[in-house]
Structure 1
């Protein structure tokens, strides 16, 4: 008889890992996911759609601690509970309903980057590697025993979205590789030493505000960490908001004579956009967006010069 599971899942990692379970011999009795928010940019796959295509019951409770959710999970009589990028912490009394154990996939190499949006934080902090970890769920977030991990590189110009694509594949590979051992009850459960790691909270769109007095590398890491489809790194000039969509860190010493000595911020030079940073280095801006009244448009160097000139006039 196939082992039964209840799966809490969302986003691309949820889609891919649910498909791994179905391909790997797990009877998924129930999928718990989120309703898409009308205020969020939904650029990722639908767990709900995948579950419905396979004839699996789907529920979207707002409260993970509700009696109704607990009753639904208990009725499914799961051997396993899995969480794949589900956005709520699951209470321990709910996890205890798994006849065997409850597991989560996290988008970092635990114990590093426990908590929220680990891929974005890893890019922001200039890491050169991250990955995916399958671990046992516990009362604290991302604190249970480690079952398996798969690393992926973060290249110098990777955006968080590009790294997240790699992490999604790493999550799929990790689960696929260890699933037979989980089913057989032979999977390793290794220590997750929280003292050797770190915890990070969620990020808000306002956290994308650029401080050009910081080093160019720091500013560039922020641009990469929140580049589209995330809200983007931005600055306000004279009441006008500009979002940097794409950029590239200029080589040390590559700043032109026309930029040397200019104050930190965005400037136009030779019909191109550059950001001068606090350490004197520059960032070449390849795509700048102007936001006004809920609308967004691409800004040329000439248009930027006109907008900022107009904004500075009395």
Structure 2
């Protein structure tokens, strides 16, 4: 098989390695230029291509006419997309059978940031799905998928590590069938699950009036290396770095950040708390005593999501 691969991120690196191990001739890799404003905690597809001697390009988008010409010249038997961030137009998908690796158990959590959304919604399971590509995202027939558990305290970063391994296992297991043309095409029931959009740092704002489980799921979904769940008070932005759902009984206190018995907590709308073990204030680590001093110094009217108490 001669293939063209669109790839980025850890899933892109691991799945390219699977194709190489399976004897696939990779004629070209299309990836992204790294964004200097992004926290690049993941592996580089471009560096992998340099080390393996694979031709690699970084066009600004997938609709450039020169890209289509380059792809036609590659003469690929198949196209693969592994966490490439741009949608591929019909003109590209018409060149050869195309397969995408998606970070969920389709048809669940279609669209952007599937791991983060799964954690945010409190899912107990997700995985990786290889599916046939169509113009409509994540809508093609399912070729293979592998499930992984989401434990109650897993962060999205931890789950993404599991999904990366699941993607590698999924591709490795079905690659022989892809090579000999016997790979299955199973129904992808779009009446189930739903589509989700991309997430921005601003989506990590905490509404302390929500139940503690929802607030905790938000923290887990955006915890570092993602931007983090945050709250603002008197011009200070507090970002939760590490927290657990407290086992203590609910308290009759207003929602928001607090210091109780020398420990930092976030009191939620149902009275349950997040036990916060690491907190940043305007980008700097802050201790429980420092937080207590800052909360004591707060002045002015408060709203429902910015309560203070000691």
The answer to whether 1:126 aligns with 2:117 is no
Superposed displacement of residue 19, structure 1: 0.4
CA distance in structure 1 between the partners assigned to 2:189 and 2:182 by the alignment:
22
- The answer (yes or no) to whether the contact 1:8–1:33 under 8 Å persists in 2 is yes
- The answer (yes or no) to whether the contact 1:6–1:31 under 8 Å persists in 2 is yes
Name 2:225's counterpart in structure 1. 229
- The answer (yes or no) to whether the contact 1:123–1:159 under 8 Å persists in 2 is yes
- The answer (yes or no) to whether the contact 1:238–1:308 under 8 Å persists in 2 is no
Q: Deviations over 1:265-313 (max 9, x none)?
A: 010011100111001111100111111xxxx211101111122333427
CA distance in structure 2 between the partners assigned to 1:167 and 1:248 by the alignment:
23
Name 1:261's counterpart in structure 2. 252
Match of 2:111 among 103, 115, 119: 115
Match of 1:280 among 242, 246, 271: 271
- The answer (yes or no) to whether the contact 1:110–1:133 under 8 Å persists in 2 is yes
SS in 1 for 2:191: helix
Match of 2:198 among 194, 198, 202: 202
Show structure 1 runs of 4+ deviating over 4 A: none
List alignment gaps of at least 5 residues for structure 1.
none
- Residue correspondences, number: 301
Please give the TM-score of this superposition, normalised by the length of structure 2.
Answer: 0.95
The alignment's C-alpha RMSD in Å is 1.1
Match of 2:37 among 28, 36, 39: 39
Name 1:11's counterpart in structure 2. 9
Please give the TM-score of this superposition, normalised by the length of structure 1.
Answer: 0.94
CA distance in structure 1 between the partners assigned to 2:148 and 2:177 by the alignment:
23
SS in 1 for 2:134: coil
Superposed displacement of residue 152, structure 1: 0.2
- The answer (yes or no) to whether the contact 1:268–1:305 under 8 Å persists in 2 is yes
